[in-house]
Structure 1
Amino acid sequence: MSRYKSQVREVINRNALVTLALEHGFNAFLPVYDGGVDFILYRESDGVVRKVQLKGRWYIDRKYEGRDIWIAFHVDGDWYLAPHDELIGMGARYGFTATQSWLDGGAYSCPKPSRAMTLDLAPYRFGEVSIDAA
C-alpha cells in the first residue's frame, strides 16, 4: 500500500472536497483525462462553474495561469478554493514570485501559510470536512 500512498491521499482529498461541494449545492464532474483540471464543480441554482485543480498545499504554477482554474487545498482542516491567478497576485505580495522556484521552474508551493496569508485567504475558505462525519 505504501507505494500508492500519494494516490490514496489524493482520492481521500478529492472525496472530502466533493462532499463539501455537494453540501454547498454543487455537482462534480470528472474529466476523461487530466489536462490540468482534476474536476469541475457546477451549481445549477446560479450557474457557478469552477475548474478545480486539487493540491495538498497552497500552490501556484505558470501552466495554470490565465486558464480560470481554481486551486483547492486544505490548511489545518479548512478547505480553500481560490482562483489561481489571484493566488499569483498573493504570491507576488509575499515575495514568492521572486524566488528561484518561481523564476526558474515556474511554480511555487507553501506547505503552511502564515497567519497573514490565512487572513488573505479568508474569502476563499470553502469550509471544513470531517471524514468521520455521518
Structure 2
Amino acid sequence: MTVLSSDAVEVINRNALVTVALNQGYNAFLPVYDNGIDLILHNETTGDTKLVQLKGRWTIDKKYLGRNIWIAFPDRGEWYVAPHDLMVEHGTKHTATQSWAAGTYSKSPLSKADRLYLTGYRFGDPRMLNDAAAAEG
C-alpha cells in the first residue's frame, strides 16, 4: 500500500466532502486565497452558504473564533460540517487543556455523546453515494 502525503490526503478528503455536498444540494467553490477557508459550499435553492475549513478530524482552533467558519471532518466514514464556534461551546472540557491554551485542540474518533450532539450536522457518507452511482452506471 502506498503511503500518501498529507497534500494527497487533503485532496482525497476534499473530493469526498464535495461528493457528499453535491448530494445535499450544494455546489463547491475554491477560494483564490486560503485565509482559513478551504472551500465555500453554496446551496442555490436554500441560499445557504458555508465557509468551510477542511480537517482530518474534529478540530477547534482559536484562529477560527468569531469568523463564521464551519469545520468539515470525517468520523467513521461519515462527514460532519459544523459551525466552529458551536464546536468550541460544546467542547468546553477541551478548552481547559494545554493544547487549547496553545491555540488548537483535535480528537478522533468522536465519542457517542459527540456523535449524538452533532447529529444535525452529519453531512453523509461518500461511500454510500459512490456505491449508488456505480449501481446506476
Instruction: State the TM-score, normalized to the length of structure 2.
Output: 0.90
Q: 2:43 is matched with which residue? A: 43
Show structure 1 runs of 5+ residues with no match.
none
Q: What is the CA distance between 1:57 and its match in structure 2?
A: 0.3
Match of 2:100 among 99, 102, 111: 102
1:71 aligns with 2:71: yes
Give the letter aligned to residue 84 of structure 2.
H
Structure 1 partner of 2:112: 115
The alignment's TM-score, normalised by the length of structure 1, stands at 0.92
Deviation >2 Å, runs of 4+: 131-134
Q: Distance in 1 between matches of 2:46 and 2:112?
A: 32
Q: Secondary structure of the equivalent of 1:82?
A: strand
Gaps of 5+ in 2: none
**TM-superposition CA deviations, 1:92-119 (whole Å, max 9, x none):** 0xx100001111x111001211111111
Shift of 1:49: 0.1
> What is residue 85 of structure 2 aligned with on the other side?
85
Q: In the TM superposition, what is the alpha-carbon distance from 1:132 to its structure 2 partner? A: 4.9
Task: Return the offset for 1:5.
Answer: 1.4
Same amino acid, percent of matched pairs:
55
Once structures 1 and 2 are overlaid, which stretch shifts more, 117-126 or 56-65?
117-126
